[in-house]
Amino acid sequence: NSKLRHVEKDVLIPQIMRERAKELCSDKVQAFTKCCQETGLLMVVKCRQENTALKDCLVGYYSDPLFYEECKTEYLKQREDYKATGIKKKRQKLTSNV
């Protein structure tokens, strides 16, 4: 049964999308984080370029219908595995510092 509840569509699948997008944009996450660490309080002004690149990367994934479908498929597989085993699996992170 692949019918989705409201919480699945609006919370659980977007959560997977955010996690995967952060992994896929990890180079931009790292560049923004590094810039913020180096500039301190001036990060709002000095890290504008890194922040824009990060936002553009993330929004690109969030607004991609194919990416949504991939994440939905991943969620449905996790849901089926949980129903079959009763064990909730943690997602494997592609990178350890995101």
Burial of 32 from C-beta contacts in 10 A (0-12 / 13-18 / 19+) = buried
What is the distance, to the nearest Å, from the Cα of residue 6 to the centroid of all Cα atoms in its chain? Answer: 19
Res. 40 pLDDT band, cuts 50 70 90: confident
Count CB neighbours of 50 within 10 A: 19
Can you give the pLDDT at residue 1? 54
Predicted TM-score of the model (pTM): 0.76
Residue 59 has pLDDT above 80, yes or no: yes
Residue 63, pLDDT score: 96
Q: How confident is the model at residue 91 (pLDDT cuts 50, 70, 90)?
A: low
